[in-house]
Amino acid sequence: MPHKIKILIVENEPDTVQTVEMLFRDYGGFDVVVALKGAEGIALAQKEHPDMLLLNLDLPDMSGFRVFREAKAANPDLMVYVFTGFDDEEFRDRAVAMGARDYLVKPMPMEQILAKIQEGASELERRKKG
């Protein structure tokens, strides 16, 4: 049985979480794990070993960049997508320098988000096949 791609969503907006989780699980066929705060996201990244991370930078308990750094330290191969309302060149450059696959600015059409994630998932599958 093929490995099901696991995505960790770290997002503090419940409506966004609900929509994106449903999109990834029901339409993308992904295994989805959710954290509403940064500390929870770090713990889940270490425990669940996700393949991908969809990360909001504006979290209530800490910077999303800290979550990014600690999640990547736990899993250097983690594919990270920053998903934020900050349309800021400095933030974008920092995220890319840290290894983000993409910097997605809210609001963004859900089909576009799913397409980006599916593209990354296809790359992960190709890597696993060698």
Residue 57 lies in a domain: yes
Tell me if 78 sits within 8 A of 46, measured CB to CB: no
The total number of structural domains that make up the chain = 1
Q: Write out the residue range of the structural domain in which residue 66 sits.
A: 6-129
**What is the percentage of the chain residues whose pLDDT exceeds 90?**
93
The bridge status of strand 79-84 relative to strand 52-55 is parallel
Q: Choose among 63, 113, 51, 61: nearest CA to 91.
A: 63
Q: Is residue 67 part of a domain?
A: yes
Place of tokens 């990354």: 120
State the CATH number of the domain containing residue 44: 3.40.50.2300
pLDDT band at 2; cut points 50, 70, 90: low
pTM, entire model: 0.95
Which whole number is the average pLDDT over 88-106?
Answer: 96
Average pLDDT rounded to a whole number, residues 94-108? 96
Residue 1 is assigned to a structural domain of this protein = no
**Are the C-beta atoms of residues 95 and 64 closer than 8 Å to each other?**
no
Give pLDDT tens digits for 16-71. 999 999 999 999 999 999 999 999 999 999 999 999 999 999 999 999 999 999 99
Q: Is the pLDDT reported for residue 130 higher than 80?
A: no
More confident residue, 102 or 130: 102
pLDDT bracket for residue 1 (50, 70, 90): very low
Residue 79 lies in a domain: yes
